[in-house]
Amino acid sequence: MTKRAGLDSFFAPKSVAVVGATPNEEKGGYGIIFNMVDSFDGPVYPVNPGRDEILGLKCYPSLRDLKGKVEMAIVFVPAEKVPGVLEDAVEAGVKAAVIESGGFAEVGEEGKRLSDRCKEISVKSGLRIWGPNCTGLVNTDPFIFTPFVPIRRAQERLKPGCLGIIAQSGMLAAGFLIQYVVSGFFKVSKACAIGNKLDVNEVEVLEYMANDPKTCAVVAYLESIVDGHAFLEVARDMAGNKPLAVIKGGRYEESARAALSHTASLAGSDEIIDGALHQAGVIRLEDFHDLMNLGKAFSLHPQPFNLATPEGNNIAIITITGGAGVVTIDMLRSSGLEMAELKEGTIKNLAKVFPVWMPPRNPVDIWPALEQNGIGIFADVIRDVLADDSVDGVILLPFANRAMEFFPFDKVGKEVQKRGKAMVSWMFGDTRYFDHFEECLREFGVPVYSDIRSCVIAIEAYLQFSRAARSRAGEHPSREIKVASIV
């Protein structure tokens, strides 16, 4: 058995062949070659025995005709032809193959046999295999975009960011890609659909991201975890360095069965899995909506917050409506967070801009101060609250209307960055003003959500991450994690 190479040949290949490339725009093999020609900087070789030329490039009958020229092959041919293609790849000196075709272990016995055959080739030759049954991967720097959905000017549209995404299910990965990555909902470093995990699995991809200087945080949807030990070890190594949030389905018998997690996976009851993930510093979520919203939060923060402050869970709320403040307190407290007790100096400062009949306290109901002083007062109030040592994070609850055009974004942003404290914002009201508000605040690392739950999840995760970072920095000894007991 040859020593296995790492994943560089997938994430940063010097040259790429597309096996199953076609000029037929209805087919996935078109999308892949289109994306490569349109956005990959190195040499691209279409492979298809029935064509001479595709998209202006010479087309080759087989990988064997490209000996020594191809580092990575993307394969999109019917499943029964894949083992032959892999043998060609080995012959040609290809190092890595992304198999996007379906029809393997997920479709029954015959597929399973094909899958085993591919696995055998990989093990014997050292050829690394990604997939099958997946859309492959996206790397924003250097740029590579393997999915079979044709995306024009992908390299321009997907600006490099620091979030890593891992998704197992092919269809979900495709959905996440379109809905969150291509749309610019957040900026990614790498987005990976790992499919059937015939060779490359979630642990190896996660470890790659853990060591990748361009990735600052990872969100993952996992159906199964092939090696609980290894997964937890990587997660523990990441704690305090790069936050990791996962959805791991299968809490109940019915869902575990549906996820086929009885096959080689993180074993034991869900309580044990839950505890182990928690101990390893992993944030576990339930809904994709929450995972993607938290991904947005972390994509804005390459660094943990304010390691100099004492480690607390004390939140200040600055709200334009008392009612939203009340609801937010309930949700914060349910999550185990605390309401900050503002210091006397802060109260004194705030009182200068508040009407006499309303002594400031937390939650800071900003409306009367706003009526008296105009919308610019947001900057003063946020400055004073962020400067308070008893405040570890701020949730902002403003109201979207025409006045938003005069919101003091720059002043607020400078204060947030100066204090290095977590701030997140809810937004409600006139939806026409949502985008502008969100764009202006995201520049300063403040994520904006239209549900309060996402604000609470994000600020809790920010604080947890900062605590872990302090612990990692040696302020406190790392909590011991008993991996042995849970697998």
Residues of this chain that bind its own copies (CB under 8 A) = 107-109, 111, 167-172, 174-176, 178-179, 183, 221, 223, 247, 249-252, 254-255, 258-259, 286-290, 320-327, 329-331, 333-334, 339, 355-358, 363, 367-368, 399-401, 428-431, 450-453
Q: How far is the CB of 402 from its own copies (least distance, A)?
A: 10
Q: Which is nearer to its own copies, 95 or 296 (CB)?
A: 296
Q: How far is the CB of 436 from its own copies (least distance, A)?
A: 16
Q: Which is nearer to its own copies, 17 or 246 (CB)?
A: 246
Block residue for tokens 């490359």:
200
Q: How far is the CB of 172 from its own copies (least distance, A)?
A: 5
Amino acid at 164: G
Cα pseudo-dihedral 103, 108, 111, 112, rounded to 10: 130
Q: How far is the CB of 95 from its own copies (least distance, A)?
A: 30
Q: How far is the CB of 292 from its own copies (least distance, A)?
A: 10
Q: Which two tokens stand for residue 341?
A: 């007790």
Q: Which is nearer to its own copies, 169 or 466 (CB)?
A: 169
Q: Which is nearer to its own copies, 22 or 328 (CB)?
A: 328
The CA distances from residue 462 to 136, 296, 477, in Å, are 30, 12, 20
Q: Which is nearer to its own copies, 336 or 477 (CB)?
A: 336
Q: What is the number of alpha carbons within 13 Å of residue 415 lying toward its C-beta?
A: 19
From 380, 409, 382, select the one nearest 393 (Cα to Cα).
382
Q: How far is the CB of 116 from its own copies (least distance, A)?
A: 16
Q: How far is the CB of 256 from its own copies (least distance, A)?
A: 8
Q: Which is nearer to its own copies, 127 or 340 (CB)?
A: 340
Cα pseudo-dihedral 452, 456, 459, 465, rounded to 10: -140
Does a cis peptide bond (omega within 30 degrees of 0) precede residue 363?
yes
427's CB contacts (< 8 A; 6+ apart) are: 398, 400, 434, 437, 438, 448, 449, 450
What's the CA angle centered on 140, arms 210 and 457, to 5 degrees?
A: 55
Q: Which is nearer to its own copies, 129 or 400 (CB)?
A: 400
Report yes or no: 38 and 153 within 8 Å, Cβ to Cβ. yes
Report yes or no: 194 and 130 within 8 Å, Cβ to Cβ. yes
